[in-house]
Amino acid sequence: MHQTSSPASCGIATAASDEAGTNAAVAEIAAALGPGPFQHIIVMYSPAHHAKLVGELFRNAFPSTEVSGCSTSGEITPHGMMQGGIVAVAFPRKGFRVAAEVIADVDRSGVEQANELARRMKLRFAGAQSMRDRVFALLLVDGLSNSEENLIAAVHWAMDDVQLIGGSAGDDLAFRETSLIHKGRIIQHAALLILIETDYPFEVFKTQNFEPTGTKLVVTSADTERRIVHELNAEPAAQEYAAAIGLLPHDLGPFSFASYPLVVRVGGDYYCRSIRNMNPDGSLSFFCAIDEGLVFTVATPQDMVQSTLVTLQRIERSLGRIDTVLGFDCILRRLDAENRQIRHQLNDIYRRYNVVGFHTYGEQFNAMHLNQTLTGIAFGAPDTETRA
């Protein structure tokens, strides 16, 4: 069984396959996309597929096109959410200009390198008038590198008026090995910075669906480098968190982390700092940066279907019509949707607005690294012709 989509009005082509064999899956996607010509292809693949083989097969299928991508914790295809598959987004040569570069060793020298690289890449697009309206950045990061916050801060500072979105590569909650591919080769402990200029209207967005409660948890002991919290309110972290949400520590798991997210207040807004997993010693590992003294607020999710729909409806009014959405959706949102048995309703919305992308270990949005959020870029359909 395969899933494909015809090119959108703005020329972006998308295709997906749930074939178990990597050769068969890539062959189906290549056939569905056609020969192009394409400016750039972004591939999002399940860890069930070997990253090196995915890169080689796409390089062979599209020898004149640069291919970038990353591993996932689930794929979002033109026909809804999928696990164990591959989805590709192909940008045409007409109406788009794409540049992609690798930020290596993100857990060591990545920050300085990211800042300089972002600066140089932006200069290549400096001829674009009103860059905010014509250029945006994608950042795909090794989801086990614990480096997103520093990277995003460095890139955002260098890019200034260029909006940035993206996602952290996943591995189906195994937390063993995530990967990225670029130009047919596999890269790890790295990030991909992709700058895209387009003639078509677009809007960068985020949507989240949680409500803060009055329950506070203060980080009183932590390993900040490894994003591990040992104590909350001077008590063992898992024990205190479980008590705050009315569970026992041995009942904790991905579904409870999704159903009872922890949020922090930044400015006037709340942002998720989601728990990744509970460790054998009763500590908690997080998807986002943490620090001692940080005050968490326990939150409860609100209507995910309604909040997602309202956001996409607003964007559609702004753009006139949504043509395609490249989305980065937190794995915990999918787990929460499954737990609440609303996955099929989310699928309906994603199909309606042609959302393609992947489930992440974290989402990038301008200067922020987020959890339990859907971030994305929505492309509008052209009027009678593309903008000059």
Tokens of 145: 């590198």
| pLDDT at residue 268 in the model | 80
CATH number, residue 251: 2.40.30
Average pLDDT of the chain is 92
Rounded Cα distance between 377 and 355, Å, is: 9
**Judgement on whether residues 240 and 315 belong to the same structural domain of the protein:** no
> Which of these three, 256, 275, 301, is where a domain ends?
301
Domain assignment present for 175: yes
Least confident of 273-282, 336-345, 374-383: 374-383
- At 333-360, the pLDDT tens digits run 999 999 999 999 999 999 999 999 999 9
What b/e readout covers 166-180, taking b as 16+ CB neighbours within 10 angstroms?
bbbbbbbbeeeebbb
3-state secondary structure of 61: helix
Read off the pLDDT band of 7 (50, 70, 90).
low
Has residue 384 got a pLDDT over 50? no
> Which band of pLDDT confidence, cut at 50, 70 and 90, is reported for residue 207?
very high
Q: Enumerate residues 6+ apart whose C-beta is below 8 A from 142.
A: 106, 168, 169, 178, 179, 180, 188, 189, 190, 191
Tokens (6 digits) for 209: 């669906």
pLDDT at 206: 94
pLDDT, position 388: 33
Confidence of residue 25 (pLDDT cuts 50, 70, 90): very high
Answer yes or no: do 273 and 295 share one domain.
yes
Domain termination residue (choose one: 301, 319, 348): 301
- CA 298 and chain centroid, separation: 23
Is residue 181 located within the same domain as residue 280? Answer: no
Q: What is the DSSP string of 260-298?
A: S-EEEEETTEEEE--EEEE-TTS-EEESS---TT-EEEE
Residue 174 CA to residue 191 CA, distance in Å, equals 20
Average pLDDT estimate for 65-82 = 96
> Would you say residue 328 lies in a domain?
yes
Residue ending a domain, among 301, 333, 359, is 301
Main-chain phi, psi angles of 319, to 5 degrees: -90, -15
pLDDT confidence of residue 267: 80
pLDDT band at 6 (very low <50, low <70, confident <90, very high): low
180 with 158, same domain: the answer is: yes
**pLDDT value of position 385:** 42
pLDDT of residue 1: 47
313 contacts: CB under 8 Å, gap ≥ 6: none
242 and 336 co-located in one domain: no
Asked if residues 284 and 241 have their Cβ atoms less than 8 Å apart, the reply is yes
Read off the tokens for 246.
């009315």
pLDDT band at 107 (very low <50, low <70, confident <90, very high): confident
Domain extent at residue 249: 210-301
10 band by pLDDT with thresholds 50, 70 and 90: confident
Does 230 fall in a domain? yes
Domain membership of residue 182 (yes or no) is: yes
Evaluated on CA atoms 256, 211, 369, 322, the torsion sign reads positive
Same domain, yes or no: 339 and 294: no
pLDDT band at 300 (very low <50, low <70, confident <90, very high): confident
The neighbour count for residue 140, using CB atoms within 10 Å, is 29
Summarised one tens digit per residue, pLDDT across range 126-153 is 765 567 789 999 999 999 999 999 999 9
Q: Do 366 and 264 sit in the same domain of this protein?
A: no
Asked if residue 20 belongs to a domain, the reply is yes
Q: What pLDDT is stored for residue 128 in this prediction?
A: 52
Cβ neighbors of 23 (< 8 A, separation 6 or more) are: 53, 57
Same domain? 54 vs 180: yes
Residue 387 lies in a domain: no
Q: Write the single-letter amino acid at 306.
A: Q
Q: Is residue 385 part of a domain?
A: no
Considering the domain architecture, whether residues 23 and 67 belong to the same structural domain is answered as yes
Task: Report how far residue 84's alpha carbon sits from residue 18's, in angstroms, rounded to the nearest whole number.
Answer: 6
- DSSP H helical segments within the chain, as ranges? 22-33, 51-61, 110-124, 131-134, 148-159, 237-244, 254-259, 304-319, 331-339, 343-352
In a domain, 268, yes or no: yes
Whether 179 and 225 map to the same domain: the answer is no
**Short-list 324, 11, 332, CA closest to 170:** 332
Q: Residue 120 CB: number of other CB atoms within 10 A?
A: 12
Residues 216, 310: one domain? no
Which residues does 21 contact at the CB level (< 8 Å), separation at least 6? none
Poorest-pLDDT segment among 5-14, 38-47, 315-324: 5-14
- Number of domain units in the chain: 2
Share of the chain above pLDDT 90, in %: 80
Same domain, yes or no: 76 and 192: yes
What pLDDT was estimated at residue 130?
62
131 or 278, higher pLDDT: 278
Place 299 in a pLDDT band, splitting at 50, 70 and 90. Answer: very high
